Structures are given as structure tokens and as C-alpha cells.
């Protein structure tokens, strides 16, 4: 069943759409970025954040049909992530199968790293400031940094080995990745929860500014500058 605006159920379809336009962006990057954008105090709309992801990319949008297909998949993913309840479950990772080879574990480490990096990039896009984080969210950000550092070491370790060779003790290594991914998923949920007060303050401020602007421009309103 294809992805729709209300139902996202096919990661591979989104990967295929990215490949069709020659994009170098990965699905892990989009997952991380969308989670970060939505956690931020000033969530960005897809229309404003997607160009940032493709700015330095080599995607070819010369085919309107291919571009529309990709945007439909990404909007489906955006809506899927927007329905996530961080108080009830950790965040989602793209469904991905990795070969139990050195190359497979290298790719898994790289994918997980970029998800963390693009989550932080999404927070930055949404104007997240240091004083927006709760104490637990700050601790969760440190956990993300520590996990990303461990993933980088693992990625570098497997990059030095024969890529096609079976990994040494693949079950143990897979369990280590599972553990790191659990920490990442839990940390993203904690950061999202820990930014809710800042998001509420930003929403109230925006609503007040909007009301003030409407009052200023309504017919018959006096110009107080006179």
C-alpha cells in the first residue's frame, strides 16, 4: 500500500523516491531532522525546512512527476512523525536491514550518527536556545552526544576492515547497536518532552503578537503613534 497523506507505512518507497531524483540524503537524515523540527519551540513547516535539506544536495527535480512523488512521501512521513507521542513511546527509526558484514555494521553506525546529527539540525532550524531545555532534556542531549561518539568509533573501526568479510561476533555487535539505538530513541523522546514548556511559551508569544497586529490593523483602530 503506497504512502498517503494520512498513512505512512513504506520506508522503501521513500528511499526509492529519493534515489529516483538522485538525492544523496538518507532516510535516517529525514527522520532525525523531522523529529528535531517538531521538538523545537518554533516548529518549522515542511515548505520552509525541506529546501534546507536539499540545498547542498545533488537531487534533480527536473521531472515534476518525480518531484511530486518524493514530496508526497516526505509529507506522509512528516505527518506520521507529527502524530508521535513521546510520553508513550521512544522515537522511530527507519526500517532497515543490514548485512552482518563489516560494511553492514559500518553503514548502520553511519546511519545512526546522521539521525542524531540531523535531529540537532532540526532543533537549530526551530530556533532552540540553551535555556529552552529542561534539566532532563539537557541530560538527554549529553546522552545523544555520547552515543554519537561511540557510533563514530564503531564506524571508524569497521571502515578499516574488509567490507565484504563477515563481522567478528555479529550477534554481540548487533546487540551493542541495539543498545545505542535504544538510548538515542529514549533521549530524543526526553528532549522533545523537555522542550514542551518552551514550545508553549513560544506559541503564547506568537499568539499575542498576532493579536496585537490584528488590533493594530483592524478598521477604525487608532494609530497610537500619533
**Which residues lie closer than 8 Å to 14 by C-beta, 6 or more apart?**
3, 27, 30, 70, 73, 74, 76, 77
pLDDT, residue 210, reads 65
Confirm if 102 and 33 have CB atoms less than 8 A apart: no
pLDDT, residue 178, reads 96
pLDDT, residue 216, reads 74
Query: What is the DSSP code string of 127-138?
Result: T--GGGS-HHHH
With a cut of 50, list the residues of the chain below it in pLDDT: 225
**Which residues lie closer than 8 Å to 123 by C-beta, 6 or more apart?**
36, 37, 39, 40, 191
* Cβ neighbours of 154 (radius 10 Å): 21
Alpha-helical segments (H) within the chain: 11-20, 27-39, 46-54, 64-82, 102-125, 135-159, 170-194, 196-217
State the pTM of this model.
0.89
**DSSP label at residue 101:** B
Q: Could you say which of 3.40.1190.20, 1.10.10.920, 1.10.3720.10, 1.20.120.740 is the CATH number of the domain covering 11-217?
A: 1.20.120.740
Three cell numbers at 88? Answer: 508513550
Confirm if 167 and 173 have CB atoms less than 8 A apart: yes
pLDDT, residue 60, reads 81
Handedness of CA 31, 37, 43, 47 (dihedral sign): negative
Q: What is the pLDDT of residues 129-175, one digit of tens each?
A: 999 999 999 999 999 999 999 999 999 999 999 999 999 999 999 99
Beta-bridged to residue 101, according to DSSP, are 166
d(CA 104, CA 86): 29
d(CA 170, CA 176): 10
Confirm if 14 and 27 have CB atoms less than 8 A apart: yes
Amino acid at each position: 500500500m503506497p504512502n498517503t497523506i494520512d498513512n505512512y507505512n513504506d520506508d522503501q518507497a521513500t528511499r526509492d523516491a529519493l534515489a529516483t531524483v538522485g538525492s544523496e540524503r538518507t532516510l535516517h537524515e529525514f527522520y532525525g531532522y523531522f523529529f528535531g523540527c517538531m521538538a523545537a519551540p518554533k516548529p518549522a513547516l515542511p515548505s520552509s525546512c525541506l529546501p534546507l535539506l536539499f540545498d547542498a544536495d545533488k537531487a534533480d527535480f527536473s521531472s515534476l512527476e518525480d518531484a511530486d512523488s518524493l514530496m508526497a512521501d516526505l509529507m506522509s512521513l512528516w505527518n506520521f512523525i507529527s502524530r508521535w507521542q513521546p510520553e508513550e513511546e521512544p522515537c522511530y527509526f527507519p526500517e532497515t536491514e543490514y548485512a552482518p558484514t563489516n560494511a553492514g555494521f559500518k553503514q548502520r553506525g553511519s546511519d545512526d550518527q546522521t539521525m542524531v546529527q540531523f535531529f540537532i539540525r532540526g532543533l537549530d532550524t526551530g530556533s532552540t536556545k540553551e535555556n529552552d531545555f529542561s534539566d532532563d532534556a539537557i541530560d538527554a542531549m549529553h546522552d545523544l552526544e555520547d552515543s554519537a561518539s561511540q557510533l563514530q568509533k564503531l564506524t571508524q573501526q569497521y571502515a578499516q576492515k574488509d567490507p565484504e568479510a563477515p563481522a567478528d561476533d555479529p550477534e554481540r555487535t548487533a546487540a551493542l547497536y541495539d543498545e545505542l539505538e535504544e538510548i538515542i530513541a529514549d533521549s530524543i523522546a526526553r528532549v522533545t518532552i523537555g522542550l514542551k514548556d518552551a514550545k508553549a511559551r513560544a506559541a503564547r508569544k506568537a499568539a499575542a503578537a498576532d493579536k496585537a497586529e490584528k488590533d493594530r490593523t483592524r478598521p477604525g483602530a487608532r494609530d497610537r503613534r500619533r
